[in-house]
Amino acid sequence: MKILITGTDGYIGCIVAPLLLREGFDLVAVDTGYYKTGWLFNGAAQSARTIAKDIRNITKDDLYGCKAVVHLAELSNDPTGQLAPHITHEINHKASIRLATLAKEAGVERFVYMSSCSVYGVANSPDAVTEESGVNPQTAYAECKVLVERDLVELAGDTFSPTFLRNATAFGASPRMRFDIVLNNLAGLAWTTNRIAMVSDGTPWRPLVHALDIAQAIACALEAPRDAVHAEVFNVGDSAQNYRVRDIAEIVGKVFEGCELSFGETGADNRSYRVNFDKIHDRFPTFSCDWDAERGARQLHDVFRRIDMGAEVFEARAFTRLEQLQYLLRTQQIDERFYWTPAPRRTDAQDSGL
Ligand SMILES: NC(=O)c1ccc[n+]([C@@H]2O[C@H](COP(=O)([O-])OP(=O)(O)OC[C@H]3O[C@@H](n4cnc5c(N)ncnc54)[C@H](O)[C@@H]3O)[C@@H](O)[C@H]2O)c1
């Protein structure tokens, strides 16, 4: 089955692509490469050759012959979404719907969309939220996820089946590492400073899922019978993996021996939700979350030791999305609409070989 997959130079995409190749899918991979300078470690897995292209420039020709689209390429967290909310809407909402519309017109049958549990925002009920619960997005990033789900459902029909994967917050090692997500960040701090000093009291709930388990969920959605996934929403994770942020810090503190922990007095983060993940386990019998926070923290500890990671790597901007995008804007490598600017013309000095 030929698939167009976007976001393969990203944290999750660079793990999903090798898994889908191993499962026998034929991939056309697309990414504009905002974070391409960041590469934490080499692995043995074969990956797809990624075409450097903005999703806003994808044409129908890119999609002919594909049976499915797996769409990951967006400005992918709350801080980057807040950097320029109108651009977040342009890329995350409008370009995603444009991509799906073109896909449908080109005869693509399935569209697996990477949504997020952040659509639940501040949950008003003490119970864990399900796919049927109301959404309550708190940021431009989460709002766009809600809008894409709303508009994509309108495209569903006899020949086109969108599926919405509302992923929990990811964790775990990836060559395209991100240190701006909670468990990875705490693990990096523990390794480089031996200290986790949280400003907040750590009480908000945060469901977690390993990037490799997200990759499994995508494969399950592609392989499931159409009826099981047609216009369906799935929370991706495991009900046993709703953690309070302070639990995550304590788990990391246990794995990174000798790490000092301290917490603040107040709740600095108003996003808090516990999520019920029963549906995905019921509908996809082969799906399981093989990783919990402790196993993920051990994996990170092993990777940091293997590559002898220093603070300069942990703090490198390419591993923290907001910093990398701010840098690309400041140095005018991308313009105000987040398109790459043309490379500067060669100077006379360069032309004369100096
Ligand atoms: N990481 C998480 O915790 C998490 C949780 C829930 C949902 N998700 C979703 O999963 C998807 C992948 O997340 P990730 O963590 O791998 O993100 P990431 O930021 O690491 O990767 C996203 C990739 O998309 C590319 N991209 C962004 N805008 C683009 C554009 N206009 N054209 C082409 N490429 C573009 C970037 O260059 C990047 O390589 C996203 O849709 C994200 O919202 C992630």
Handedness of CA 243, 244, 247, 248 (dihedral sign): positive
Ligand 1 center to 207 CA (angstroms): 18
Q: What is the pLDDT of residues 108-163, one digit of tens each?
A: 999 999 999 999 998 767 789 999 999 999 999 999 999 999 999 999 999 999 99
pTM (whole model) above 0.85:
yes
Q: Does the pLDDT of residue 326 top 90, yes or no?
A: yes
Confidence of residue 214 (pLDDT cuts 50, 70, 90): very high
Q: Which residue has the higher pLDDT, 266 or 340?
A: 340
Average pLDDT of the chain, as a whole number: 94
Residue 208 in contact with ligand 1 by CB distance below 6 A:
no
Q: Is 110 in the pocket of ligand 1 (CB under 6 A)?
A: no
**Beta bridge partner(s), residue 161:** 110
Tell me 67's DSSP state. S
User: Confidence band (pLDDT; 50, 70, 90) for 44?
Assistant: low
d(CA 273, CA 89): 24
Q: How far apart are the CA of 316 and the centre of ligand 1, in A?
A: 18
73 Cα nearest atom in ligand 1: 24
Atom of ligand 1 nearest to the CA of 321: 19
User: What was the pLDDT predicted at 266?
Assistant: 77
* Contact (CB, 8 A) for 118 and 263: no
Q: What is the mean pLDDT of residues 22-39?
A: 96
Q: Is the pLDDT of residue 347 over 80?
A: no
Closest of 45, 43, 63 to residue 53, by C-alpha: 63
- Give the residue, by CA position, lying nearest to ligand 1 atom 28: 74
For position 164, what pLDDT does the model report?
A: 98
The number of the ligand 1 atom at minimal distance from the alpha carbon of 141 is 43
Cα 88 to averaged position of ligand 1 atoms, centre (Å)? 12
What average pLDDT does this structure show over 207-221? 98
pLDDT score of 353:
60
> Ligand 1 pocket check: which of 6, 53, 72, 325 to mutate, most ligand atoms within 8 Å of Cβ?
72
pLDDT 10s digits, 112-127:
999 999 999 987 677 8
